[in-house]
Structures are given as C-alpha cells and as structure tokens.
Amino acid sequence: MSSGTNNTKTGAELVAQTIVDLGIDMIFGYPGGAIMPVHDALYIYETQGKIKHYVPRHEQGGIHALEGYARASGKVGVIFVTSGPGATNLVTGIADALMDSVPVICITGQVATHLIGTEAFQETDIINVTKPITKWNYQIRDPREIPCVFEKAYYIATSGRPGPVLIDIPKDMQTAKVNLSEVLHFEIPKESHVIDDNLIREATELINTSQRPLVLVGHGAIISNAHEEIKELLEKGHLPFACTLHGLSALPKAHPNYVGFLGMHGNYAPNKLTNEADLLIALGMRFDDRVTGNLKKYAPNAKVIHIDIEKSKINRNVTATIGINADLKTTLKQLNKYIKFEDRKTWFDRFSELYSIETEKVIKNQTNPAGDNILMAEVIKLLSDITDGHANIVADVGQHQMITARYYEFNRFNSFFSSGGLGTMGFALPAAIGVKLARPDEEVIAVIGDGGFQMTMQELALIAYENIPVKIIILNNGFLGMVRQWQEMFFDKRYAYTNMCNPDFVKLADAYGIKGRRIDSKSQLKDGLIELVQSDKGYLLEIIVQKEDMVFPMVPPGASVEDVILESPNLE
C-alpha cells in the first residue's frame, strides 16, 4: 500500500493507519484539493474493508450525521473535509457537538505550510475560528507527530465531558515521507477518580432527610450509562424524577417515579413544584436557562446536590450545597450504599394533582382534538402508540421538537436525539442517518418541521445512494412554528418573515427515488404512520398540521418556573 519503502509512509498514509489503529471504522468526508492525499489513502483502506466512508452532500450534514452516530453508538467517528469553505461549513456542527457533549474528531485539510498566511486559494485560519468551540485543536507542522496528535485528539474527545476536537493538516504534511522509526506517540495520562466519602455521606444525609426532593436527570445520565444506578437511587429512596430535554430516554417515562419533562415547554408539575422542593438532586445536567427560567427566583427553598463530570458546571448557574465533580455512574454506586427508603406519598400526590390539571387543560385537547385539523401532538402520540415507544426518535428544532419530547414515550434507553444546547435547525435529517448507521437493526424516525427540513434536505441523496432506511416525518404547518408562536404571544401577531414557501416534499423525495406520501386528513393519519413504520426502505411522510398550533405549558421568557402557563394569556 505504501508509496514509500516498508520503513516509510506518507503523512496521509499515517493518518489512515492511525485511524484504523484507534479502532475507528466509521468516517464521513467530503473530498477537496487540500485533503485529497488523505482521501486517497482512506480509499485504499476502504477497499480492504477496514473502514466505511460516507459522503454527505454538505459538510454540515456530514458532521450532524457523525453526531448522531457517536451518540447512538457510544463510539467516536471522524469527518474529513477540505480547507476554506469545507472547514468553515463544519463550524455549526462543531459548536453543536460542544454544547451537547458529543465526541467527534474533525480533520480539515489546509494549504501547504509555505502558503499559510498569504491568503492563498481556500485558505482559512480554522484553528483560531474553532478555538472557542472545540475541546482542543491543533495544526500539524511535522508529519512525524501525526500518530501522537490523533491519539491525543481521541483521548481528549472521549475523556471527561466528551466533545469535539479538530486537527488541521497542511497539504505538504500529507505528502511528506516519514520514517516509521521516528514517529511520535501519545502517552495517556494516569488519572485518579477517588471520590471523597465524606461528600457522599453528606449528600445521602440530605437525601434521606428531605421531605420534598426532586431528582433532575440530564444528558450526563446517558453519556455515563448511569441509568441502572439512577433507577436504584430512585427506588431505594422513593424519589420523584424529571428529565431535561437531553435526559429524556435515560429511564422510561413509564417508570412510576417519573413526574415529567423539565423546561420552558415541559410538564406543568415539575416546573411548578421546583420552587416547593426542599432538595434538588442534579445528575449530569448544567441548569440551562431553559430549565431554570429566572435564576433569581429558581428553587428558593431547596438545597442542591449537583453531580457532574465537568467542574466548571458546578456553582456556575445555581449554587450547590454539595457539589461532586466526578463520573455520575461511579458516584451513584458509592452513594446508593447509604440511601434509605422514605415514604413520600404526599409529595408524589402533589405531582399527580398538577398532572391532572395539565391533562384536562392541555393534553386531552392536544392528543385528541376536536375539529378537522391535525395537531402535532396527536401525530406524535399515535406514533408512540404504534411503535410502543421503542423507536429511535431524532427531532429537529422547533415546536415539533417540544411536542415530540412531551408526547413520545421513550421506553428504550438512549433513544431520543436532538440538538439541545445550540438548537440547530437542520440537525435531524443527517443525524438520523448517523443513528441508523449505528443501529441498523432498529427503527429510526426523524421528526422535522418544514423549515428545518429545507436546511439539510440535500442529505436525501445520501439516504438514497447508500440505501439507508431512515423514516422521515415532516410536520408541515407552513410556518417557522416556534418563532410564529412567540410572534403571536409577544409581537401582536405580526408574523414577520415566518411564512414558509414550501416545495412539494413528496415530489422531492420521489426525485431522489425515496417513497413518500402526503396526509392532510385525520382519516389517513393512522394508516400513513403504519405504512411509514412498516417500510423496509427510506420513507418520507408529509403531514399537513394546523398552521397556528401552540405548544403549552410554557414558561414565558424571564419568568420563574412556577409562573408556567397552560394557555395563552390575554394580551389585549
């Protein structure tokens, strides 16, 4: 294979060999001039069956697909792109991966070293561009360090709180010959994970003596595979729990201790009762503003136990009574030894009372509405029933995202994928491709709005070319729905620039050779969803939903979580 002797390789060949040695076999990439030597080397490895390389139709689609793959598989993937626009097209996905703790390795080609700083064709200083949105980035200036840099990148991407890293490789570093006896390697640091037992005992004392505790389950519960330990904590201590957006599917919604989804459009009870709690137990979550609302009015009566792998998250937004900077799974194994059962029926009854209010005022009307118009909630509720809450659901960003979070049951661990921190429209279609490649034998369904779909819809080509059986539901209301909701509530119904001029999505799918169907009446809805689920190939189902549907409950911007509303206030 080598273009040199048995004792030498080119830098590009070293890149490919190191990727394989790290156990990485899933690659996305878009070729171009400054990365061509690496793609040539990767091609040879693919012909040998050592890797599989997928070509997205846009670099942003590629990195979102990589995010989906990493989150669904627990593995690290790599994306290779060229310099200039190829590199800058990754920026949104890199920022998304950082916010949502996704381990991805981004490799960008670069102009030759003697051209750097000369404004050469397709030159961009991607190192300085991405410094704020990567855990680590590095430009290779000596081909002998290629194995060391890639090994270090893999370690940084996966250690602690996972996240994105970027390696920039000038073209002459890819073509340079390297004597294999001179290559450098990375030595993994020795780490200590001793947790202070005094902190553990103090935390358990707070838990055992609290009357109104509430466990807040975040994305860290999934990343650390701590679901069994959390289940033990909840059941041993008789503790209610609620989930952040990314905490959904850490445990089944059907668990008897589940009291709802947190946040701006979460369930009424956990938002309302946060300010009555005497103890918050935060597990792998960062107290995001969409969860807390007005921080000055957040949980004034509660002590706080905060467990997180990233030290900077503790005491940043909410002051912790006890902060434990450690792996969640390891910590809970230690903590659960001391947890005692406490009968908290009165406290659980408060959640049940408020859930009943939400059911009467919101849920029944949303999932079983009168009239001829289809509502998003009834689509998602029916989809959940048809799949028994066992599908992998990939939601885009907007009203449909919140509706999906509220009304799909998520009965399987780590089965909900969405862009949480950055809120990236266009995430779902390519991310669903990555999820399906990670879980080829499982159902993967993307739920997307008509606006978000058009941001990355070119990835239909990848679905068609590689015959990836991703199912797509477009909830088409002809609006940028979430922005329109705010315009209705806070901007006197001035729908400025939120009406969408949509193409015929079914014809578009057909142009790519993907079967599609449009539904615009309730009589067609169940059969259409069943047809989608039963298809053994990619399938696009466009559902025309009510144009001015609203998502409630809602914590208005700037309000306290206890000020959550169940319907539009009278703003006249």
Inter-residue contact 59 to 106 (CB < 8 Å) = no
Torsion of CA 162, 163, 169, 174, to 10 degrees: 40
Rounded-to-integer distance, Cα 85 and Cα 569, Å: 46
> Catalytic one among 122, 458, 524, 546?
122
Rounded-to-integer distance, Cα 139 and Cα 114, Å: 14
Each residue of 478-489: b (16+ CB within 10 Å) or e?
A: bbbbbbbbebbb
> Catalytic one among 425, 482, 550, 554?
482
Long-range residue pairs from 517-520, CB within 8 A, at least 24 positions apart, any chain: 517/541, 517/542, 518/542, 518/543, 518/544, 519/374, 519/543, 519/544, 520/374, 520/544
Inter-residue contact 412 to 249 (CB < 8 Å) = yes
Rounded-to-integer distance, Cα 139 and Cα 146, Å: 10
264 is catalytic: no
> Catalytic one among 13, 59, 409, 459?
59
487 is catalytic: no
CA-closest candidate to residue 185, choices 226, 163, 155, 210: 155
Phi then psi for residue 203, to 5 deg, are -65, -45
CA-closest candidate to residue 363, choices 562, 521, 551: 551
Inter-residue contact 186 to 158 (CB < 8 Å) = no
* CA-to-CA dists, residue 253 to 35, 174, 247, 415, 449, angstroms: 46, 50, 11, 12, 24
Rounded-to-integer distance, Cα 174 and Cα 291, Å: 46
> Catalytic one among 152, 171, 313, 381?
171
10 Å Cβ neighbour count for 500? 17
Rounded-to-integer distance, Cα 182 and Cα 260, Å: 57
Rounded-to-integer distance, Cα 106 and Cα 35, Å: 12
59 is catalytic: yes
What single-letter DSSP state applies at residue 348? H
CA angle 231, 227, 244 (to 5 degrees): 95
Rg (alpha carbons) of the chain, rounded to whole number: 25
Residue written as token pair 């003697």: 114
Phi then psi for residue 105, to 5 deg, are -115, 120
Q: Cis peptide leading into 469, omega within 30 of 0?
A: no
173 is catalytic: no
Rounded-to-integer distance, Cα 53 and Cα 43, Å: 8
Does the CA dihedral 418-424-429-433 come out positive or negative?
Answer: negative
482 is catalytic: yes
Question: Which amino acid is present at 138?
Answer: Y
Q: Which residues are catalytic?
A: 59, 121-122, 171, 482
